[in-house]
Structures are given as C-alpha cells and as structure tokens.
Amino acid sequence: MKLGREQKQLLILRIYIGVDFIHHFAEKLGLLGQHAYHNVLAYFTGLHFHNPSLMVLIAGLCEFAAFVGFTFGLFTRIAAIGSAAYLIISGTVGGHFGFGFTWANAGGGWEFPLMWAVFCLSFVYTGGGNVSLDAKLLKKLPKRLKFLSQ
C-alpha cells in the first residue's frame, strides 16, 4: 500500500499524539515510581476533589485510552472525541482557562490544552487512516458495529 503525503502526515501526527500520552498515563498509574505518583496525587488533592486518588486513576485511564486509540488507530474517532473532551475538562478543572491564553503564563494558560484538543478533534474528520487497526477492523466488524472503526 502506497501512502500519499497527506496520509503520511496524518499517520505521523496520529502516532505522535498517542505516544505523547505515555508519560501522562504512566505517572498517574504509578508506572514512573512512587515519587511521580505522589506529586500527581498532591496536585489533584490541591484541586479539592472528594476522592483525589480515584480522579488520578480516572485521568490515567483516559490518557491510556487516548494512547491506545491514537498510537494504534483503534476506534480513532472515539479516541479523538474522548481525548479532546478530557483535555478541555482537565484544562478547566486545572484552572488553565483562568490564567490567560499563553501557556508560558504563570500556572499555564489555555493555549496548550486547547491546541491539543483541536489536534485530537481533527481525527474525528479523518479517522485512523489506512495504516490503523480501524482499517483492519472495518473489514471484520459486524455491520451494526462498523461505526466504531469508520
């Protein structure tokens, strides 16, 4: 299968987005050691969640799902919508929208999470592409489930 320039560009971008989530889910799921996990837990505690350890776990699972969805092109459109929503919600809960636009502002502005949300959302339009698990699954899924990989 020969890929055109646009297909190669989307493949590179899709995989990079997925790989970029590795560090994020790894720290929240304790894969980077106790020190990293406790730093994240302290941050979530500072956000005044009723159960910060549960919220850290939920955030880590969201990021893991985004990693799988984008890196392997598995249910890419669902991953795109879910990760964009996650980025907007986490940017809101983390207060980034109150720190102004520029990410370099003290506390981090909303520029960075919104940029990533837009990058993720662009895959709602394109899907996973020809080099994805979605492309392979589309041929094998029952008709009523094909929407997951289209």
> How high is the pLDDT of residue 68?
98
- Distance, in Å, from the CA atom of 134 to the CA atom of 148, rounded to the nearest integer, reads 8
Intervals of the chain under pLDDT 70: none
Q: Give pLDDT tens digits for 28-42.
A: 999 999 999 999 999
How is residue 8 written in tokens?
């190669």
- Distance, in Å, from the CA atom of 132 to the CA atom of 82, rounded to the nearest integer, reads 18
How is residue 86 written in tokens?
């996650």
**Alpha helices per DSSP H over the chain:** 5-28, 34-46, 52-72, 76-93, 111-126, 133-138
Q: Taking a C-beta distance cutoff of 8 angstroms, is the pair 127, 77 a contact? A: yes
Q: Give pLDDT tens digits for 58-71.
A: 999 999 999 999 99
> How high is the pLDDT of residue 64?
98
